[in-house]
Structure formats: C-alpha cells, structure tokens
Amino acid sequence: MLRHISTVPRPSLRCFFCDQERPASPYYLRLQQAGMGLGALPVGMLLLRGRWGFVKCFLCDDCRENALAVRRLRWTVLLVTLLLLPLSFFVLYPLVMPAASPDQTSFGEKLLVGLVLGLPLLNVVLAPFYLHFLLRRRMRRLLHPETDRYLKSLGVVRNWGFWSDIILFRELPRGEKCLTP
C-alpha cells in the first residue's frame, strides 16, 4: 500500500548509494558506530558509548528500500534470537523433560534434551557473528565502492557489520549538525 503518491516529478539526480542518475529524494543519513571498551554499557542495542554523524544525500527509491531492508534484517535476527530462548525454556523444555526421566533415559532422549537446551543457547552466542557477516555483505552490495570509501573517510564508521548502522531521516534532527555541507 502506498503511503504517499506524489504527482510532482522528482528531479533526476545522482543517487548517493548506487551512483546512478535516477529520480532521487533528499535524506539525512545517520552513520553510527557503537563502541565497546571501558565505560561502554550495553543495554539491548542501545550503547552508552559510540559515535555518529549525519550526511545529507539523495537516494533513489530502490536504494532507500534496500537501506530499510538492512535495518529490518538487523532487528529481525535479533528479535528471533531473543524470542527463541524463552520459547525453548518455557515451552519446549517442559515438553521433553518427562521423556528424560532419571531411571529410564536412553541416549536418544538425552540427545533430545541436550538439543532443546543447547541449540537456543548456541543461537544466542552465534547470532551476532552471523548478523555481522550478513550486514557486511548487504552493505557491500548496497553501497557503491566510492561511496563506501567516502563514508569511511568521514571517521564515523570504520567497517560495516554488527556494531555499525545507518538510519535514514527526512529532516535533520534538531541540535544535530551535518558532517558535509
């Protein structure tokens, strides 16, 4: 469903991400790199230490959708990871525990209980690494190589992955300044 249908044709400008002449709209791109070190306290995905900056750019519709898809991927993987843990402990574990009675436990039953308990924990440990790999690959496909080098040269993002993120804004938030004119 379309939220906004514009009857005014947009000017054909060079898209900041794909570097092609297309109809593009202005956006403010927030680059952020989370920091881990002394004084960094992780609270979910909100880190109390990090750096960010805004870049004004023009994006075509395809690149905007791809940038939003990267963001959705991040939150989908994290949500599935966090929901799988309570699901296994509060739903699956009570279902398999009666099968693993101490007096008559076969190897298959022990293996089943071990998988029910071990796989969600393994998922919590491995999901950030998998997400890091996915995000690096998606950002490499999304950004033109020159754009990637330019964004990294601004000093906010060193590498793409789990600890770095992009957010699109229509307007520059109050109190923030652009890194570029």
**pLDDT value for 38:** 42
User: Which whole number is the average pLDDT over 79-101?
Assistant: 75
**pLDDT value for 178:** 86
- Is the overall model pTM greater than 0.85, yes or no? no
Four-CA torsion 112, 116, 118, 120, nearest 10 degrees: 150
d(Cα 51, Cα 179) in Å, to the nearest integer?
A: 12
**pLDDT value for 39:** 44
Q: Which stretch of 40-44, 51-55, 106-110 has the lowest confidence by average pLDDT?
A: 40-44
Q: Which pLDDT tens digit goes with each residue over 147-172? A: 999 999 988 888 898 888 888 999 99
- Answer with the residue of higher pLDDT: 35 or 180: 180
d(Cα 81, Cα 75) in Å, to the nearest integer?
A: 10
**pLDDT value for 99:** 60
168 SS3 class: strand
With CA atoms as reference, report the closest residue to 164 among 176, 151, 177, 174: 151
The answer, yes or no, to whether residue 82 has pLDDT greater than 60, is: yes
**pLDDT value for 10:** 61
25 SS3 class: strand
* Mean per-residue pLDDT over the chain, rounded: 80
